[in-house]
Amino acid sequence: MEDWAEIRRLRRAEGMPIKAIARRMGISKNTVKRALAAEEPPKYRRASKGSIVDVVEPQIRQLLQDFPDMPATVIAERIGWTNSITVLKDRIRTLRPQYKPTDPASRTTYQPGELAQCDLWFPPVKVPVGAGQAASLPVLVMVCGYSRWLMARMLPSRAAGDLFAGMWALLRMLGAVPKTLVWDNESAIGQWRGGRPQLTGEANAFRGTLGVRILQCKPGDPEAKGLVERANGYLETSFLPGRSFTDPHDFNAQLDGWLAHRANTRHHRRIECRPADRIVTDLAAMVPLPPVAPVVGWRTATRLARDHYVRVASNDYSVHPSVVGRLVEVMADPQQVTVTCAGQVVARHERCWATHQTVTDPDHAQAAAAMRHSRLPLAVCAPADVQVEQRQLGDYDAALGIEGVA
């Protein structure tokens, strides 16, 4: 290789004739000509002696043509291979791609306002939720396809009432709605049945009010929502380390600050700009927020029992006892629980994120105690002093026909 480099230097840099180069280096003129004609350094190539697999390659190709996924061990059995299985596997590994359909991963591009990918991320930390409890709660994550704008919020649960309330809260903060919301087969969203996606009633009501589409990914297709999957990993490696949280509200406050000052202002390698640089164009192509907000959260109607408590998730909340026996409507979101009766608010509590708790308003307890006291029965009066005649015992003997005893 040194001779080849020197020959080219003498010719190109010094302008030395071929004959002079050959005389100076002690080689033939043909060797000099070959070195000048070669654009790459000379490489030693040993002639191949062939392989013991060459003889059976036509049989291997025939089997792979009919059965591209046939294991190498089965191929060895079919062709009666008795030599080293390693060299056979190496040859099969080389031949198989020629017969197996390829499945390349596509580099997807997104148009402004086209879609947002959604997912639930479960951070590997437990957050205090009150009542001496700590829980690993779901975080709703949404990523806009065109701008890569990242949104996230911790929720009390993955139930439909909390999930759609969280989605609506994030979309209100965004100020518009992407034309398609991409989800996997989350139970509150829907399932694939008979090879077709089926949205839940809550999901259809939500998308109908917004006027957009909810796209359910096929099972086992993680590439369909790779944006949000990568966002989950980014949250876990960039937001979470070194942080501690006093409660879910503190978690969301820290998360909002990190999203605003870090995640959405960083240079994104794939789009070669910051999400903040694209979000205006993305929003302009999205669907405007509906004039009437979608019905989200927990909503139930029940007749208030004598104990004047209603249940949301696994917790009981007190209601003013004046409406015992009447029909009340219970509405709850991640922030508060509200109970109304005939349009009047009869209870309002902060939502409890712990489980199996009883939340009592002191005014409700005081009113219930007063009502119970007013319904106590009056004290029983002493019997009146009545004169009762006393008869002689002989009168009873005569009435019964019993002779007196002497």
Residue 345 · residue 357 · CB < 8 Å: no
According to DSSP, the residues that pair with 191 across neighbouring strands are: 198
Taking only the tens place, the pLDDT of each residue in 60-88 is: 999 999 889 899 999 999 999 999 899 99
pLDDT at 406 over 60: no
Token reading at 392: 């002689």
Nearest Cα to Cα of residue 145 among 230, 216, 211: 230
> Tell me, what's the pLDDT at 14?
79
Judged by average pLDDT, the poorest of 123-132, 189-198, 345-354 is 189-198
C-alpha 367/C-alpha 375 separation (Å) is 13
- The token pair at 298 is 């927990």
Phi, psi of 325 (to 5 degrees): 90, -10
Position 293 scores a pLDDT of 92
The residue ranking higher by pLDDT, 248 or 405, is 248
Contact 300/330 with Cβ under 8 angstroms?
yes
Question: Which carries the bigger pLDDT value, residue 271 or residue 377?
Answer: 271
pLDDT at 374 over 90: no
Of 155, 164, 152, 151, give the one whose Cα is nearest residue 136.
155
Confidence at residue 97, expressed as pLDDT on a 0 to 100 scale? 87
Cα–Cα distance measured from residue 217 to residue 189, given in angstroms and rounded to the nearest whole number: 11
Q: What average pLDDT does range 260-265 have in this prediction?
A: 96
C-alpha 180/C-alpha 145 separation (Å) is 10
Least confident of 34-38, 206-210, 256-260: 34-38
Position 294 scores a pLDDT of 93
Would you tell me how many other CB atoms lie within 10 Å of the CB of residue 385? Answer: 5
Determine the pLDDT at residue 15. Answer: 82
- pLDDT of amino acid 175: 96
pLDDT exceeding 70 applies to what percent of the chain? Answer: 88
Of 177-186, 208-217, 381-390, least confident by mean pLDDT is 381-390
Q: How many angstroms separate the first and last alpha carbons of the chain?
A: 157
Confidence of residue 212 (pLDDT cuts 50, 70, 90): very high
Token pair, residue 260, equals: 């605003």
For the chain, the average pLDDT equals 88
Per-residue tokens: 109: 């591009």
What pLDDT was estimated at residue 106? 55
